[in-house]
Amino acid sequence: MNIYFGIPSGSQVNIEEKETSRRLISAMSALPCHTRDFTTDDPYPFEAVKGTPSLIHAFNVAKAGIQCLKLAEKSRLPLVISCSGLDVYADIFIPGLKAQLQETFAGAARIIVPYPSMARFIKARIQANLNFEVISPGVLPVSNDFDFPRENFGLEEQDRIILLEGGMLPAKNLLFAIHSLDKIAADYPNLKLVMFDQPFDTNYRKKVEIEASTRPWVKILPRPESEILPFVYKMAEIAINVSHAEGYNPFLLNMMATGRPVLASDIHGNNAYIRNEAIFAENGNGYLYSTSPGPSTYEKIHDAEDFSEKLKYLLDNPDKAREIGDRAKATVTKGYSTQKEIYLHLQLYKSIIS
């Protein structure tokens, strides 16, 4: 098999797609399967290599799938599309784009989604006969043999770190977290809200930086390399996700894999992975705070009071927080192995090509 992976080009907002394809390529390089990744600004990526592609696999239906469908039709090759999240929960509401997404979905031999509710969401909005495959994301195990010193990241030993992962994008809703923590920061002198500067939307990043500049308890870090990220996750006392929309959501699963307790917005992509401790007492693997539909598109109305109350509970009850974090780690270890993810992709490729 010769599998060609189509990755969105250029923009720094596509870290999730690049990480996923990189993990698949790395694992498949040891198997009797030839792989190559190309960016969607390559006019015809097959001319530079020997051999005939068997299949094209695009990551993100809007940013890669539309272009890869044209390439697949030109080359008479089957197309597989992996939905990463915002391409489903946000892009589908962009005027003029829905028709293109519908055509792209309909042209795919298979559409990979990370959990069943995403397939149901797409079916309800795209009028076409679509073929879905549910493949849960794989998470690499985290080493406990080594920890990076906090001072390497400008953090101090006494800092109580709340980690907000995902980058500076409007959909990640960082300003909500900053404004909500305003209400409790004075009660926790060593509190530190840590976030990364990539991926980013330029205008939104400016807004976040302006807000952060007046709050010494907000720390913006350069995004570490993917190999270093788990060690940064382990420094956190609590991980939060306050997004309007999520999908594949590898950041959430990777934080859970380190045993961090997670507080997240109750949206698609968070509630697919988190069993809410507030409902399933003594059996949850994280907390979800309330959201409700917004006035338009994918944006939600977030319950700041519910968020603050649950965050304070985790801060005030560290033993309970560790217990929930242990359940989160067990969930990921049991249900989200990279071996299973690779196996299911290979079986899917074979079923389409044969």
The predicted pLDDT at position 43 comes to 59
H or E stretch including 265?
strand 262-265
Instruction: Yes or no: say if 272 and 114 are a contact pair by the CB < 8 Å rule.
Output: yes
The range of the structural domain enclosing residue 69 comes to 2-138+337-353
Do 8 and 129 sit in the same domain of this protein? yes
| pTM (predicted TM-score) | 0.91
Do 93 and 230 sit in the same domain of this protein? no
Which amino acid, one-letter code, is at 170? P
232 domain-assigned: yes
Nearest C-alpha neighbor of 67 from the set 39, 47, 25, 93 = 39
Domain count for the chain: 2
The predicted pLDDT at position 251 comes to 86
| CATH code of the domain in which 90 resides | 3.40.50.2000
The predicted pLDDT at position 34 comes to 76
The predicted pLDDT at position 130 comes to 95
Q: Would you state the structure tokens that stand for residue 226, as one six-digit string? A: 């993917």
Strand order in the sheet with 262-265: 218-221, 191-196, 160-164, 238-241, 262-265, 287-289
Is residue 154 classed as helix, strand or coil in its secondary structure?
Answer: coil
Pick out the chain residues at pLDDT < 50. 12, 48-50
261 domain-assigned: yes
The predicted pLDDT at position 295 comes to 80
The C-alpha atoms of residue 286 and residue 290 are separated, in whole angstroms, by 13
Do 177 and 65 sit in the same domain of this protein? no
The predicted pLDDT at position 47 comes to 56
